[in-house]
Structure 1
Amino acid sequence: MPSSPPAPERHFETIAQCARDGIITISADLTVRYANPAVEDIFGYSPDELEDRSLAAVLSDDHASDLEEWLDRFLDTGEKTVDWGDIRLQGRHRNGRTVPLSVSLADFEQDGRRYFSGIVRDVTEQERREARLTGLNQLAQELTDAESTDEICERTVDAARTILEHPIAAIGLYDDDDGRLEPCAWTPEVDEIAEAGRLFATDRSVPWDVFVTQERRVVNDILAETDLEASDTQLRSAVFHPIGTYGVFVAGATERDAFHDEDVDITSVLVGNAYSSLERVDRERTLREQRNELAEKTESLDRLRRINDVIRELTTVLTEAAGRDEIATEVCTRLAASDPYQFAWFGSHDPASDEVVPEAAAGDENGYLEAITVTVDEDEPGSDPTSRAVQTRAPQIENDIYQNPPFEPWRQEAIQRDYRACIAVPIAYHGRLYGVLNLYAVESDVFDQLEVSVLQELGETIGYALNAAERKQAFTSERSVDLAFEVDDREDSVLGIADELGGRFELENLVERGDGSTTMFFAVRGPDSDAVVEWAKKRAQLHEIQLLADRDEEYLFECMLEESTVWSQLQQRGSVVREAVVTSDSARIVVRIPRSADPRSFDALLEEAFGSVELVARREHEEPVMTPEEFEAEFRDRLTDRQDEVLQTAYYAGFFEWPRETQSGELADVLGIAQPTVSRHIRSSEEKFFSMLYEDENEDEDKNR
């Protein structure tokens, strides 16, 4: 026959003794009537020490009162106000440590008295895992709102400090410029063992290896498993996790073997969230930059279209303008009427006062030019864009006038008139500064690179127009002035030939070529011709010197000049060098200029070239700078530029002398063209000359009949 089952009491006792969970029976007043051995692992008290004691001794005061209240209500009403399958209480361990508990409770009656038995579990690990999951979920939510790389890194290390058992955590991001990992965010505990977030003294240590290999690494004993010394880091164990190409996350501890598998898994989740957020921020930043760049380009293109329309109109105006005043006025008027410009003015530098004097203005000036004085000091960098433009001969931009402290008077005056950005564009041609064009806008950041380039090209066009107008005026002026200068310092110029070689130098003529270069014809008496050639070859401004003729102890030479020489600049300003004679005792230059031109600018030009000059004579003439008769003017008008160049070169080279000082072949070499071409140009020019001469004579005879 089968054996009979053991008695229930014996059965329960056996199960309770081997159970891993604590089992407790209490009376209605919370007195412990039974406890199994497992309660000692939970509370630190043996079953004998707990029995006949109140359960309140191993519960927090608040939770003991709550449990007593719940049981009393149940006994009075039979109502269970909490889930008896999982009652959460805070226990107290014998060592004072708080123990989170989960209690499954049931009631029973024995001998007319009510008792309660429960299974008690220490849920410390469960709550820790739940807290970690909550922390990870909270981090994921927070990272969705993060807007910058720094914010993502800071929130990630803060979460690591809360979730992991060890509070040391840091993130280093890769710096493209320096080629190394730079600390971005770290927990406060890092400051106790490292400076500025650098957990390792060397750049090429474990974090760098992890970044390069892109492989996670757990180091339980840093000093034993790496080549690092104790002085290189205070960490003794750590988890290193690459954050893609962004950088490396480090969780560390000052003791060995501090991280378990669960910690490593947590860091993987942390880094995964951070990486996803960094990629999102990168994408959003790229999209913002693309949208902003597209908007800026669209705005810039719209503005450039308006500027180009104005420039096209100005080009027509500049070619038809009668003179400097009209050019300056038209430029300011048309630019000031074009968005986003509010005000424009043109000024020139007065060398006598060193001030930039306004010549023309248009737009909302509101007394600005009366309120400011622009002074140019060659020894001090200018505080305002206009003076800097004069000094540097380059555009000067202030894209946010209001942002900088408004200490300078010009800036204060500009802000009061709602100017927010400005540019000063130097107007120059072949090294000569004609003035400065100043534009003001009511918006910041108006003058981007593309717009500055367009305005710079406009400045060059205006400079060319002013030069052309000046030269046109020089040719058509009815009165002119001869200015005679004595040159004291001539060592570094062509005038220094008499000082070094002795004898006499005399300028014969200057011929401006179609490509803008200048040919100089000069005669030297005294030195040997070979010595002159060798001397000239050492001068950077002189090129391709050739001996053209030997005229009774006087040699005629021809050479090319750079555009930057004073001789080329004098021609470009519409003047004529009437005389340039140098001996070992003196050097005299006579320049004929239009009556309307400012002699001071020519004085300044010669001083810049020679260092020290003195105006010794001034003589006015009732004739233009160039004194062509109507016949000559018409003849030149009929010649092409190339024919005019060939005739002038042939004449000053002695081609028309008898006997000829220069043959046609030599002349072709000078001009850099074929000999038949030289002959054809000369014959064609002669035919035009004689046809004009005899046709005019015939016309006069017909009129007299």
Structure 2
Amino acid sequence: MTSRSLTEALRETLALFDEAGSPRTTTELADDLELGRRSTYERLERLVERDELETKRVGASARVWWRPPSARTDRPLGSGDWPVEAESLLATALDRTDIGVFVLDESFNVAWLNETAERYFDLDRERVLGRNKRRLVETDIAPAVDDATAFVDTVLATDDDNTYAERFECRVTAAEEREPRWLEHRSEPIETGTYAGGRIELYHDVTDRKQRASRERKLEQYERLVETVPDGVYAVDEDARFVAVNDGFCELTGYDRDELLGAHATTVHDAEITTRAESLAEEIATGDRGSATIELDLQTDDGATVPCESRLAPFPLGETDGRCGVVRDVSDRIERERTLRRRIRQQEVVADLGQRALESRDLDELLADAADLLTTTLETDYSKALVLDRTADELRLRQGSGWDPNVVGTTTVSAVEDGSQAAYTLASGDPVLVDDLDSESRFDGPDLLTDHDVTSGISVVIGSSEDPWGVLGVHDTDHRAFSEHDVTFVQSVANVLATAIDRHDRERELKRQHEQLAALDALNDVVRDITDEAIDRSTREEIERSVCEHLAATDSYLFAWIGDVDAADQTVNVRTEAGGVAEYLEGIAISIDPDDERSGGPTGRAVREREIQTTRDIRDDSRYDPWRSRLEEYGVRSSAAIPIVHEETIYGVLNVYADRPNAFEGRERAVLGQLGDVIGHAIASTERKRALMSDDVVELDFRIRDLLDELDLDVPSAGRITLDHTVPIEDDEFLVYGSATPDAIDGLEAIVETLPHWKAVTYRGGDAATRFELRLSEPPVLSTVASLGGSVESAVIEDGDYRMTIHVASGSEVRQVVNVVQNAYPTAELLKHRQLERRRDTTDRARHALTAVLTDRQRSALEAAYHAGYYEWPRDASGEEVAESLEIAPPTFNQHLRKAQRKVFDSLLSRPGRNRSTE
């Protein structure tokens, strides 16, 4: 069989093999032909069957092809001497062939071309013959070719090297006398004959091959597209039997391709779907509709159903029409729509709950509504709102849905991190999901959940993670895979509740503030009344009774009482009460002994710490256990114990009770604290007045042997130190003026360095003895004596021994003075304790008269100036120095001193009946 009997496609394929018999692979040939491997393989197999090619397998699945020697022709172009008739016949045949031929002589001039070459490039043979190849290509051929520059460069490259065969493809564009086509250019040198040294240029029309290859590529692309598309693609004939399905359809239905091909469409869906699909396909075919979509439940080989959507169209099958379609699994879309509806419902619930929260004034009702909405919306068995009790490290079930009736309001769960899901939620601050409580390793399952067979759930914090109010949770007895949207929904409900709780807290706080403001107004009135009356009251008992009666008479407090301390047995005794609680007070015992459990209440703490002590709510304060049952009978919720103190002396403790929790906080607490100071100052003033007015005094004479040794001072016990006069200044500080012999100076300075309340000493000069000014801060003995209206009559340190004589009014707390002295100086001996009649002289009466008209600051300025030597000449101390001692500015000192001097002169020099200065 000769190559002339081959088809054009086979001849085209055979032409790809060279005469040397070089083997070529299927892939190489497919690329040259621009065909798919399958089409190329079929051509090569037919050429092997016609003995034009040979083949063999290479490797596991590859194959090579080559042209056998018997199929080659070795006769070179231009060899031999043919008869003229044969040459004419050959020229005629070449003119009629579909191959364009150019013959170039050794100068690369056109020696001959056929009609096909003229037609392909729209040339005139007469004008072309004899022309040089370069000019012909550049001026006549290249303009007709796509990418002319590359064409010219490739074709003319053989001008410089005419030793190799050349092959490439080009596209001729359309013109008036020229059809567009694809040509394959082949050229090789002429080695023998008339045109030896020249070249033959051939242009094969490969347009059909290119179009076939394009169609085959598109078909393969379509096949590849159909097979790779994730959706199912099918075609059925007029009897609704499958004639084609892709892998996606097989995967969707679970059937193999062989099982589906030939099977009826009802294999995978109900019969009514077929009827509906045929009707829609007919409407499309007749033009009644452009496209059609049908929804159906696709039945898989295992009996399951898959919700699908199918877009269908008519499918021509020769003389009949079937239909085809693309089937898509819409399970995800349906689930998304279901999820969207669920999210919309959740958002509606949150919005509705938010509106309820704005209108509701009952927090428990709102929490119960939220719990019901959670179980209904998420279709769970239980929901709960737990409130945190920080003092007990537990969470109490405040409201819930689905639980046993006796659970809500009473049941608690641990608030410790690993104690429960709720505790873990508090610790983490983030939402917590549980898929299986039995296998949970992060925390334990509390009885509340295990007793109700809970398996899964969500829990979130109500409020901020830094200051949580509690935990909101939903739970189910089944394994539930809650979504992120479900978690967001629960968190949104928690946020609404947190906002409502904050608002309720603010409203409750506002109400408390209103009540506190009313109480504060009443309290301020009481303080003013007490202050006014304290001035008029002549005894301590009257002051204390007036305080209690005023407090108990207000609407803000239930009752009040004042007690003092019995140092002997360390208990608090009731001095006076008001409000009808005498029976309650008779049955209680309060201690100040830290080892006694009855000292843990506010009264005991106030005495020990000398600061106001309050109880926010006695129901929650375990320190009130010894008295709780008695106080609850009176409706008490909070209390305050205010120490009555003046200049380090405690006179007792005032107790006030209220029927509202947190009654004694903020400004109310501060005012009550000031009330303790007012009462203390009033009692102290009364005691001082009584001491001054009393004709009888108690004299206490103390001796401290070897004071310098007791203080462990390594200085000689020589000389004499005398403390002559004391001037009180602010903040429980005193200026003491005295004198010391020269040999006692070292001892004085050593004492100042050792005793913490002896702050500094300043020397003012003198004759035989050096006068000094000593600054004392919170001196225990001096402060106590001053608070009782007493005085230190004499204080002398001589040859190391300290002698001190103290006068206090008859009836004063002598034991308190003795205790203070002996606490300050453990070796102190009480040498005398006797009652004396005070001797009144003109100087005393004048001093008392001046004391009555001078303010404390004026008296301090006048006395400090006098004893510091301000009135000596020359002055021992300037005004600036005295002001510095008093720790006030010089202008302030001068103002106090000037007013004090004026009052003194008014007292001495003014005429009877003339108004005196009251500055």
Q: Where on the TM-score scale, by shorter chain, does this alignment land: which range?
A: 0.5 to 0.7
Q: Confirm or deny that 1:439 pairs with 2:685.
A: no
Deviations along 1:327-363, one digit per CA (max 9) or x if unpaired, are 1111111111112210111111221111111111111
Cα displacement (A) at 1:500 = 5.5
Which consecutive residues of structure 1, in runs of 5 or more, have no partner in the other structure? 1-16, 68-84, 106-116, 162-180, 198-244, 248-265, 657-661, 696-705
What letter corresponds to residue 666 of structure 1 in structure 2?
A: D
Cα displacement (A) at 1:419 = 1.1
Q: TM-score, normalised by structure 2?
A: 0.49
What residue in structure 1 maps to residue 882 of structure 2? 671
Equivalent position to 2:340, from 133, 141, 146: 133
Cα displacement (A) at 1:521 = 2.5
Cα displacement (A) at 1:323 = 1.6
Contact 1:664–1:678 under 8 Å retained in 2: no
Cα displacement (A) at 1:185 = 1.1
Equivalent position to 2:719, from 497, 503, 508: 503
What residue in structure 1 maps to residue 677 of structure 2? 460
Q: Distance in 1 between matches of 2:567 and 2:727?
A: 30
Q: Distance in 1 between matches of 2:850 and 2:601?
A: 51
Q: Distance in 1 between matches of 2:236 and 2:730?
A: 114
What letter corresponds to residue 505 of structure 1 in structure 2?
A: I
2:430 counterpart SS class: strand
2:585 counterpart SS class: helix
Equivalent position to 2:430, from 181, 184, 198: 184
What residue in structure 2 maps to residue 250 of structure 1? none
Q: Distance in 1 between matches of 2:336 and 2:700?
A: 99
Contact 2:615–2:621 under 8 Å retained in 1: no
Contact 2:721–2:748 under 8 Å retained in 1: no
- Provide closer, same or farther for how the CA distance between residues 192 and 353 of structure 1 changes in structure 2, counting only shifts above 3 A: closer
What letter corresponds to residue 791 of structure 2 in structure 1?
A: V
The two structures, once aligned, show a CA RMSD in angstroms of 5.4
What residue in structure 2 maps to residue 527 of structure 1? 743
Cα displacement (A) at 1:418 = 1.9
Contact 2:739–2:772 under 8 Å retained in 1: yes
Q: Distance in 1 between matches of 2:499 and 2:531?
A: 46
Cα displacement (A) at 1:390 = 0.9
Q: Distance in 1 between matches of 2:800 and 2:748?
A: 19
What residue in structure 2 maps to residue 351 of structure 1? 567
What residue in structure 1 maps to residue 586 of structure 2? 370
What residue in structure 1 maps to residue 190 of structure 2? none
Q: Confirm or deny that 1:580 pairs with 2:791.
A: no
Q: Distance in 2 between matches of 1:51 and 1:466?
A: 114
1:666 counterpart SS class: coil
Q: Distance in 1 between matches of 2:672 and 2:732?
A: 24
- Bigger mean CA deviation after superposition, 304-313 or 556-565: 556-565
Which consecutive residues of structure 2, in runs of 5 or more, have no partner in the other structure? 1-225, 274-292, 313-323, 358-365, 381-426, 444-463, 467-482, 884-889, 913-919
Contact 1:489–1:613 under 8 Å retained in 2: no
What residue in structure 1 maps to residue 620 of structure 2? 403
- Bigger mean CA deviation after superposition, 567-576 or 525-534: 525-534
What residue in structure 1 maps to residue 806 of structure 2? 591
Deviations along 1:182-206, one digit per CA (max 9) or x if unpaired, are 5511333699999859xxxxxxxxx
What letter corresponds to residue 304 of structure 1 in structure 2?
A: L
- Provide closer, same or farther for how the CA distance between residues 318 and 273 of structure 1 changes in structure 2, counting only shifts above 3 A: same
Q: Distance in 1 between matches of 2:502 and 2:858?
A: 61
Q: Confirm or deny that 1:333 pairs with 2:560.
A: no
What letter corresponds to residue 361 of structure 1 in structure 2?
A: E
What letter corresponds to residue 43 of structure 1 in structure 2?
A: T
Contact 2:722–2:739 under 8 Å retained in 1: yes
1:352 counterpart SS class: coil
- Provide closer, same or farther for how the CA distance between residues 566 and 26 of structure 1 changes in structure 2, counting only shifts above 3 A: farther
- Provide closer, same or farther for how the CA distance between residues 406 and 509 of structure 1 changes in structure 2, counting only shifts above 3 A: closer
1:547 counterpart SS class: strand
The correspondence of residues 10-49 of structure 1 with structure 2, limited to 5 A, is: 37=245, 40-45=250-255, 49=259
Contact 1:498–1:583 under 8 Å retained in 2: no
- Bigger mean CA deviation after superposition, 667-676 or 346-355: 667-676
2:431 counterpart SS class: strand
- Bigger mean CA deviation after superposition, 336-345 or 271-280: 271-280
Q: Distance in 1 between matches of 2:519 and 2:671?
A: 11
Q: Confirm or deny that 1:429 pairs with 2:669.
A: no
The correspondence of residues 132-171 of structure 1 with structure 2, limited to 5 A, is: 132-144=339-351, 145=353
Equivalent position to 2:540, from 317, 324, 329: 324
- Provide closer, same or farther for how the CA distance between residues 366 and 665 of structure 1 changes in structure 2, counting only shifts above 3 A: closer
- Provide closer, same or farther for how the CA distance between residues 444 and 536 of structure 1 changes in structure 2, counting only shifts above 3 A: closer
Cα displacement (A) at 1:120 = 8.2
Contact 1:498–1:582 under 8 Å retained in 2: no
- Bigger mean CA deviation after superposition, 362-371 or 445-454: 362-371
- Provide closer, same or farther for how the CA distance between residues 580 and 123 of structure 1 changes in structure 2, counting only shifts above 3 A: same
Specify which structure has the bigger relative contact order, considering alpha-carbon pairs within 8 angstroms and separated by 6 or more residues.
Answer: 1
2:660 counterpart SS class: coil
- Provide closer, same or farther for how the CA distance between residues 640 and 271 of structure 1 changes in structure 2, counting only shifts above 3 A: closer
The correspondence of residues 204-603 of structure 1 with structure 2, limited to 5 A, is: 287-288=503-504, 290-365=506-581, 367-378=583-594, 382-405=599-622, 408-487=625-704, 490=707, 501-512=717-728, 517-525=733-741, 527=743, 529=745, 532-533=748-749, 536=752, 540-543=756-759, 545-548=761-764, 550-552=766-768, 554-584=769-799, 586-603=801-818
Cα displacement (A) at 1:461 = 1.3
Contact 1:477–1:625 under 8 Å retained in 2: no
What letter corresponds to residue 185 of structure 1 in structure 2?
A: P
Cα displacement (A) at 1:396 = 1.1
Cα displacement (A) at 1:459 = 1.4
Q: Distance in 2 between matches of 1:428 and 1:649?
A: 26
Q: Distance in 2 between matches of 1:184 and 1:402?
A: 33
What residue in structure 1 maps to residue 838 of structure 2? 623
- Provide closer, same or farther for how the CA distance between residues 490 and 420 of structure 1 changes in structure 2, counting only shifts above 3 A: farther
- Provide closer, same or farther for how the CA distance between residues 491 and 353 of structure 1 changes in structure 2, counting only shifts above 3 A: farther
What letter corresponds to residue 559 of structure 1 in structure 2?
A: L
Q: Distance in 2 between matches of 1:492 and 1:452?
A: 47
- Bigger mean CA deviation after superposition, 420-429 or 526-535: 526-535
What letter corresponds to residue 412 of structure 1 in structure 2?
A: S
1:367 counterpart SS class: helix
Q: Distance in 1 between matches of 2:725 and 2:250?
A: 120
What residue in structure 1 maps to residue 819 of structure 2? 604
- Provide closer, same or farther for how the CA distance between residues 681 and 396 of structure 1 changes in structure 2, counting only shifts above 3 A: closer
Cα displacement (A) at 1:400 = 0.9
Cα displacement (A) at 1:599 = 1.0
- Provide closer, same or farther for how the CA distance between residues 410 and 95 of structure 1 changes in structure 2, counting only shifts above 3 A: same
Percentage identity across aligned positions?
A: 25
Q: Distance in 2 between matches of 1:498 and 1:465?
A: 45
Contact 1:183–1:196 under 8 Å retained in 2: no
Q: Distance in 2 between matches of 1:405 and 1:676?
A: 56
Cα displacement (A) at 1:386 = 0.5
Q: Distance in 2 between matches of 1:349 and 1:543?
A: 31
Contact 1:43–1:94 under 8 Å retained in 2: yes
Q: TM-score, normalised by structure 1?
A: 0.62
1:341 counterpart SS class: coil
Q: Distance in 2 between matches of 1:562 and 1:505?
A: 19
Deviations along 1:80-136, one digit per CA (max 9) or x if unpaired, are xxxxx97865x653356552467999xxxxxxxxxxx99987542332222332332
Contact 1:347–1:359 under 8 Å retained in 2: yes
Deviations along 1:151-184, one digit per CA (max 9) or x if unpaired, are 99xx9xx99x9xxxxxxxxxxxxxxxxxxx9551
Cα displacement (A) at 1:325 = 0.6
Count of paired positions: 543
Cα displacement (A) at 1:315 = 1.6
